[in-house]
Structures are given as structure tokens and as C-alpha cells.
Chains A and B, each alone.
Chain A
């Protein structure tokens, strides 16, 4: 079983559509320390592809994503 990272900040972007979950995540990262973990809870299924891409483009570390029914929870460590 994958151990879920412990987040330093939690972001609820349920009901928001692409690209707002990523735009909100980017805003939430502002002020966080390098290595700090952001947890993102979303309903847009696109997050499963967009979150790793966003991490790759911006130098963050993608820690994983969990899909539970219609909700997705993703974790990112600030790069």
C-alpha cells in the first residue's frame, strides 16, 4: 500500500475545471518552502495527467495521485 504524504497545505479545487486546479495549485505554492508538500483535492479527471506534467514543467516533485470514485487527491513537493 502506498503511504500518503503528509501535506503542509491542503487545496480543495473540487468542481473546478482544467486548468483552474493547476492555476490554483500554482498560487497555493507561492510562499511555501522548497520541499513542502501540497495536497490537491479535485474532481476534474484531467488532474491525473496534468499534475505530473505541471510538476515536470515547473521543477516540482510529483509524489503521486489517488483516485477515489469521482475525487482525485494529488501530492506535490515544491521544487
Chain B
């Protein structure tokens, strides 16, 4: 007896509404779906929520794609591509968007990685939740074929939410997917997606207003650019990009910067990063942790090549941002690079912190 093989597809799932709808549209056609979610190191997800004091009554943060997969009843492959992703961020062939977001290169890279996983796991095609014209770089009509070509997946990347507005793909031509049951969404409006979500009974999805990548954030990009400028090269470690998400960053001089914890949870996080490296002479080189002795206040990390005067200035900043800011003198502990000492300093007055120090 002849059996019909069930068609299967591997999708890129961000956990946002669009990718969830793309999954549902294919599931409605009897296609077996699994998804992949890539970790680049710049995913916003709930990192800030995990580092800061929780809002009263707020639920703990969550990974949107994981919860979307649970809701959709599909398997999710979570893949760490952060190390390989460095070259996409530091040397994007197609350049950056408004900030340090290499959206075209990123999309090409992710699609090619998804294709490789599709080949490894034996799926029939890949798909995304892209909507034509929704994003300025990677979802422009003229860029869609280009992404497929460069990723080496020409004709095999289905975009169920805007399929009827673009050329039919192989899965449609072969009759695996009914093109008539796909959508022709375009533009930045969200109404058609929200209507479709209601039709599918999907109610628990993240707010569409939230971005998914720190590289599209002006403040984050400025801090990353500062890091590159003062290191003299476009390079970063995984720890660098995590630290750029935490604290208030100030650069009083080209040779050093400080990161000031903004609440107790963030102080704890920064202390953990510093503490985790205590035994690692290389990673811990060029980093000091400062905090006021016997007074509530921030943990302050100093990074770079500060002079002794710079460290004193950092102590004064530590005092400035703590509860002892109005005291005549504050004792500040310095720890790092094989030294432990306490300096007594005068808190830096607010009007002696130039606005240009803030990154």
C-alpha cells in the first residue's frame, strides 16, 4: 500500500506574533513543523529584566520563543551561534542599518544556518514569519530574493505571511503547500496579524512594539561603538556584550570607563561577573570592582588602563552614586588585578560629572 509522506518544515521562531502565525498557517495545512531559535548574544529577550530589580508583582522574565513553541505544540531547537556571529557584527558585507544592526547579513546568516539544520534533520523546506516591507532592511521586496540567493536557499524559503505577494516557492510549486491558504500581508501595520491571531485563538504573544535585538537600540550601539573606538579594533567577547547591557556607563577618559550598577540586582550581577573572573588572570586583567564600605550604594566596575588618579576618581564616582553622596568623606573598597585596598574620598559633586562622560 502506498503511503504519503508527511511534509515537514523547519521555521525560524523569534517568539513574536508573526513567526507564531507562520507556524499555525502551515500546521493548518497538515505540515509537521519544528522551529529553530538562534542565540546571537544580542537577543533582548528578558536580559534586562533578569539583571534589574523586578517590578512589584511582575512575573519572572521568560524566553518568548520557548513559550511560543510550548503554546504551538512544536519542538524548538535552541542554537547558540554567538561565537560565529561576531564576524557578522564586526564586518558586515552589507553594512549597518540605523545603528550597529547588520540586519541583511544577519538574515542571510540565520537563513543559511537554518538551512544547514534543515538538511541535518531531514525537513523538506524552511520558512520564516517575515512580512513584506515590515522592516526597512531585511524585509524590503528587492532584498528578499537577494537573501535567498546569498544564503543558498533560492526557492526553498517560504514566507507564509506574505507568500501571495511574492514569487511562488518550490514547496508551493510542488503542491506541498496550498498557496491559496497563505497570506499577503505587507507593511508595518499589525491589524491583519492580530485578526489572524484571534482566529487561531492565539492570545499570549509578546507586544509587537518590542524589538528583538540590542543592535537596533541607539544606546546599546553607542556603547558598543565606544568599546571598539577605545580598543582600536572591532572585536568583542561574550562578556563584553553582556556588560554593555548592564549598568550606567561613563567614560571619564579614553583609557578607562566605569559601569555603575543601578540597583541591588544589577550590583549583584556585576559582582558575579567580576567574581566569576577572579581566578582568571587574563579575563580579570584591567577590571576593578569598587563599592562603598559600610554604606549602601552601587557596585562600580572600572575597565581599561586607569592611572592611580583615575582609580581615585572612580572611587569618588562610587561615593557619588551611593547613599554617602552628601557625606564629607566615604571609604571605598577597590578589588581587582591582585589588589585589595580602601581609599577615603570626597564624593564627586553632580556638577563635576560632565554630560559627555555618559555613554
A-side residues, CB < 8 A to B, are 14-15, 17-20, 22-23, 26, 43-46, 48-50, 53-54, 56-58, 70
Contacts and interface: CB of A to CB of B under 8 A. Distances in A.
A53 B67 contact: yes
B253 interface: no
A45 to B, nearest CB: 4
B283 to A, nearest CB: 13
B61 A18 contact: yes
A interface, by DSSP: helix, strand, loop or mixed? helix
13 contacts: A15-B272, A18-B45, A22-B78, A43-B272, A45-B54, A45-B60, A46-B49, A46-B61, A49-B61, A49-B67, A50-B62, A53-B63, A58-B75
A19 B63 contact: yes
Contacts, number: 79
Contacts of B54: 45
Interface in B84-112: none
B246 to A, nearest CB: 10
Given A15-B272, A15-B276, A43-B272, A22 B66 contact: yes
Interface residues of B, number: 33
Contacts of B74: 57
Interface string B176-218: 0000000000000000000000000000000000000000000
A23 B80 contact: yes
Contacts of B268: 70
Interface of B: 37, 39, 43, 45-47, 49-51, 54, 59-63, 65-67, 69-70, 74-76, 78-80, 242, 265, 268-269, 272-273, 276
B50 A17 contact: yes
Nearest to B238: A20
Given A22-B66, A43-B272, A49-B59, A57 B75 contact: yes
A58 B75 CA distance: 6
A49 B69 CA distance: 13
A44 B50 contact: yes
A15 B265 CA distance: 12
A46 B265 CA distance: 14
B9 to A, nearest CB: 17
A44 B74 CA distance: 25
The 3 closest A-B pairs by CB, nearest first: A46-B61, A49-B62, A45-B60
